[in-house]
Amino acid sequence: MQSIKVKSPATLSNICCGFDILGMALKEPFDIIELIQKEEPGIIIKHIDSFELPVDPEKNIAGVALQSMMHSLDNKQGFEIIIEKKIKPGSGIGSSAASAAGIVVAANELLGKPFNKKELLSFAMEGEVLASGSRHADNLAPCIYGGLVLIRDTPSLDIIPLNVPPLFITIIHPQIEIKTSYAREILPKEITLKNAVTQWANVAGLVSGFLKNDYQLIKRSLHDVVAEPVRSKLIPGFDEIKSKSMNAGALGGGISGSGPSLFMLSETESIAHSIEKTMKSVYDPIGIEYKTYVTTVQNKGVEIFN
């Protein structure tokens, strides 16, 4: 095989209480990445989108992730990478993860699958570190494994894929930029025991709710007392969107990853669409441009594109 094209999905990380340890892959939006083997060594990157991302392989997330993989093989094979990003960088729905995960899965296929998913994740992490300055896998792991995953331990990449009941996800992406590095810097370095108890009870409740298909338990557990109180102040209209979405029938939601996107989970597609209308009605008068998505869980992770 000389070339390959993959679809690399957006991801929803944290899912309220699961800061850095829970994430799910989404059907929409996704990036398209083409990887072509070439005779000469070296990596050439082309972007066919309008985001003006760096094309120097040392500064490009996909370039860094691919180099990390090739170093471990001690292989000098050259590649051309053509990236069409549809997930806007800095959106909070795993744009950098889609680049890093997409390229390592694509290269692994082209090279005859020398690596397993966990190894691919560790190479992709190098790209994520470049993007956010920190090692967290809650976008990358669902992007590679698909569906909903728990990262029980990040340093050892102990990844637990979990079952998830049918869910609809409404996302609004206000077109403002919040850098993940900044959104992490402003987090409290310590939390009270009371908040810790609340948070880990909700994580356990949320995971149990997903495994038991118990929507009411999911609803009761979708709370975040650690990151949301600080980060929500960076997102105009946050409180109004949240309370009106709950009135429209959402199970719950909050900040997608480190923001600025907001997400709401619903049991039915029609509720998800009425939440989209509600979100628009809050954002139209604010005057900040935005994009919305109504989507579902994507169970495969990065997919070969035919």
- Shortest approach of ligand HSE to residue 187 CB, angstroms? 8
- Could you confirm whether 11 is annotated as catalytic? no
The catalytic position among 11, 34, 126, 180 is: 180
Residues 58-97 contacting ligand HSE, CB under 6 A = none
Other C-beta atoms lying within 10 Å of the C-beta of residue 44 = 15
CB 66 within 8 A of CB 81: yes
The smaller minimum CB distance to ligand HSE, of residues 132 and 170, is found at 132
Q: How far apart are CA 145 and CA 8, in angstroms?
A: 11
The smaller minimum CB distance to ligand HSE, of residues 138 and 267, is found at 138
Bridge pairing between strands 22-38 and 43-47: unpaired
The smaller minimum CB distance to ligand HSE, of residues 108 and 180, is found at 180
Options 91, 170, 258, 295; binder of ligand HSE; rule CB under 6 A = 258
Q: Which residues, 6+ apart, have CB-to-CB distance to 220 below 8 Å?
A: 205, 209
Q: Which residues pair with 160 in a beta bridge?
A: 150
SS3 52: coil
- Shortest approach of ligand HSE to residue 92 CB, angstroms? 7
- Shortest approach of ligand HSE to residue 102 CB, angstroms? 16
- What phi, psi does 134 have (nearest 5°)? -145, 155
Residue 149's closest CA among 12, 251, 280, 5? 12
CB 141 within 8 A of CB 13: no
Could you check whether the bond before residue 41 is cis, i.e. omega within 30 degrees of 0? Answer: no
Handedness of CA 102, 104, 110, 114 (dihedral sign): negative
Segment interacting with ligand HSE, rule: CB under 6 A, options 136-144, 161-169, 194-202, 264-272: 136-144
Residues 16-35 contacting ligand HSE, CB under 6 A = 19-20
Options 139, 170, 266, 278; binder of ligand HSE; rule CB under 6 A = 139
The smaller minimum CB distance to ligand HSE, of residues 245 and 258, is found at 258
Binding flag, residue 257, ligand HSE (CB under 6 A): yes
Binding flag, residue 142, ligand HSE (CB under 6 A): no
The smaller minimum CB distance to ligand HSE, of residues 185 and 239, is found at 185
**Residue carrying the six token digits 């102990």:** 158
Binding flag, residue 99, ligand HSE (CB under 6 A): no
- Could you confirm whether 109 is annotated as catalytic? no
Options 138, 224, 228, 267; binder of ligand HSE; rule CB under 6 A = 138
Beta-strand (E) ranges in 211-296?
A: 252-255, 262-266, 290-296
Report the interface residues with ligand HSE, using CB under 6 A: 13-14, 19-20, 136, 138-139, 180, 183-184, 257-258
Q: Which residues are catalytic?
A: 128, 180
